[in-house]
Amino acid sequence: MRLLLAHLNQPYEWEEVPSRHVAPRTPEFLAINPNGKVPVLILEDGTALPESNAILHYLASGTPYLPTGRLEQAQVVQWMCFEQDSHVPNLAVPRLLKRYPDDPRQANLPAMFEAGYRALEVMEQHLAQRLYMVGGAYSVADICLYAYTHLAHEGDFDLARFAAINSWMERIRSQPGYIGIDAQPGLEG
């Protein structure tokens, strides 16, 4: 989200929610998001918008980062669903587990690595034929997938064999307004 906000030159205030690696369950936070998960975007009118991809879609709406064509918009949503279904559980979670070796999900790491490499292969094949994820232009779909892809090495994924993904990540880093998001704490995309 911070990358998109930087591209949009949009001011914001970032507030860390202390949670180690479990969802915040304080009564104050549950009043904001009854699902008890981060991130949550608090709009100027006080409305709370949870879920990272809903937030990205909201912020990108009406900007060059969300295509205007129906098909391209649907393809953006397709890749955002892919990110939630294939990236988060299989690329992001191993990164988290490396930080918290006492987490009981450690036993699932081999299956996560297998599925994570499958997800990277899907992206590699897609990007081998195009510069960006949707419609030939940099979009919120790229921003969404970039977050965990460029940090996959922190979960012990070897990205060296993915030439198209590495070229794509370099194109993203060369975008005007790019800010590094490597130092983001937790699992925020």
pLDDT recorded at residue 182: 55
pLDDT recorded at residue 11: 86
Catalogue all structural domains in the chain, each as residue range(s) with its CATH number: 2-60 (3.40.30.10), 70-173 (1.20.1050.10)
pLDDT in tens, the chain (189 residues): 889 999 999 888 888 766 555 556 778 888 888 888 888 999 999 999 999 999 999 999 999 999 999 999 999 999 999 999 999 999 999 988 888 888 899 999 999 999 999 999 999 999 999 999 999 999 999 999 999 999 999 999 999 999 999 999 999 999 998 988 654 443 333
- Quote the pTM value: 0.89
- Count CB-CB contacts under 10 A for residue 3: 23
136-145: b or e for each residue (b if 16 or more CB lie within 10 Å)?
eebbbbbbbb
